[in-house]
């Protein structure tokens, strides 16, 4: 135990260099210390151990059996220390580390995924977890420490003073249909024409649902009665594929789902008025300090807003 307390990485490096070169003078030079200092370090180690680490021969120094054991463990310890040093530097420079982010759907597609791709391309050692969900769940997860930051709306029952909140942007709603839908391809559609058709839409209280209902109210048009409630993207896609429904989604999601090659055969309706959702924000806990890796992801997100 006394040896373990007194042993230093420099001592282990000296033992390794002596074994590699067979010469104390060469080992000392490789470590940029004087030969007398190297000789003193070796003598102190052998005194502490009560045995020799090297046999001295005319052709050089050869490790004893105990010296070989010392050498084997010393190399392993030095490799671990070198790995630790590299990992610490990578963490300080943001080249590695873990980043956990939550987002509502639109900004996840628009800016979070591209931001993560940019960081990962430059630093493959950074591990990122993205969770997509409603704002209430995301802010709760932020409060519980499951996320470094979230792109969401702050629910009314939360005190904004508890968070660091940065304005982000508004979301716009796009209306998707299957390309066989009777309204597909028509221009300047009014809301009264849309009200005649079935819809698949998020549950009441969701931002997109509220924006769609507000648009109908402002146009003095009754809200559609034929509504299937679901926040599941999979359910929405299944209904779009198999029935003549209209599905409101974030504009960024619509751009992704209507991209050539996706295979869903979906089209955006041309509506005579924009439908906007309340803005989302970048929200983080005031008490939490960011790592360099998190800062890098956040910087990339801000550049895409």
pLDDT of 263 reads 64
Residue span(s) of the chain under CATH 1.10.10.10 come to: 2-92
Identify the segments of the chain with pLDDT beneath 70: 1-4, 83-94, 96, 263-264
pLDDT of 91 reads 62
pLDDT of 94 reads 59
Asked whether 277 and 250 are in contact (CB, 8 A), the reply is yes
Specify which residues 96 forms β-bridges with.
125
Beta pairing class for 96-103 and 60-63? unpaired
CA distances to 7, 40, 46, 220 from 33, rounded to whole Å, are 17, 11, 19, 87
Range 2-92: architecture per CATH: Orthogonal Bundle (1.10)
pLDDT of 1 reads 45
Asked whether 102 and 297 are in contact (CB, 8 A), the reply is no
CATH class of this structure's domain 101-280: alpha beta
Residue span(s) of the chain under CATH 3.40.190.290 come to: 101-280
pLDDT of 73 reads 83
Q: Is the pTM of this model over 0.75?
A: no
Specify which residues 268 forms β-bridges with.
176
Tokens 């490096």 appear where? Answer: 13
CB contact set of 289 (below 8 Å; sequence gap of 6+): none
Tokens of 292: 């360099």
């Amino acid at each position: 135990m006394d040896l373990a307390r007194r042993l230093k990485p420099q001592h282990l490096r000296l033992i390794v260099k002596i074994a590699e070169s067979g010469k104390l003078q060469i080992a000392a030079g490789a470590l940029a210390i004087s030969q007398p200092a190297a000789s003193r370090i070796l003598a102190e180690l052998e005194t502490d151990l009560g045995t020799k680490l090297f046999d001295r021969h005319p052709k050089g120094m050869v490790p004893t059996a105990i010296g070989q054991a010392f050498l084997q463990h010393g190399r392993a310890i030095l490799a671990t220390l070198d790995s630790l040093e590299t990992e610490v530097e990578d963490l300080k420079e943001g080249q590695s580390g873990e980043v956990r982010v939550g987002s509502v759907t639109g900004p996840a597609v628009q800016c979070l995924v591209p931001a993560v791709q940019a960081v990962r391309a430059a630093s493959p050692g950074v591990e990122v977890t993205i969770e997509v969900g409603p704002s209430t769940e995301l802010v709760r997860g932020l409060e519980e420490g499951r996320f470094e930051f979230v792109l969401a709306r702050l629910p009314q029952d939360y005190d904004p003073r508890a968070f660091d909140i940065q304005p982000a942007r508004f979301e716009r709603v796009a209306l998707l249909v299957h390309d066989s839908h009777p309204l597909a391809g028509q221009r300047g559609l009014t809301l009264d024409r849309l009200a005649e058709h079935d819809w698949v839409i998020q549950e009441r209280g969701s931002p997109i649902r509220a924006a769609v209902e507000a648009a109908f109210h402002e146009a003095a048009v009754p809200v559609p009665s034929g509504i299937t409630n679901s926040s599941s993207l999979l359910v929405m896609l299944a209904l779009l594929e198999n029935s003549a429904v209209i599905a409101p989604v974030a504009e960024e999601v619509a751009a992704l789902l209507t991209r050539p090659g996706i295979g869903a055969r979906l089209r955006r309706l041309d509506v005579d008025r924009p439908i906007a959702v309340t803005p989302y924000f970048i929200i983080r806990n005031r008490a939490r300090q960011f790592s360099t890796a998190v800062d890098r992801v956040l910087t990339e997100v801000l550049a895409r807003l």
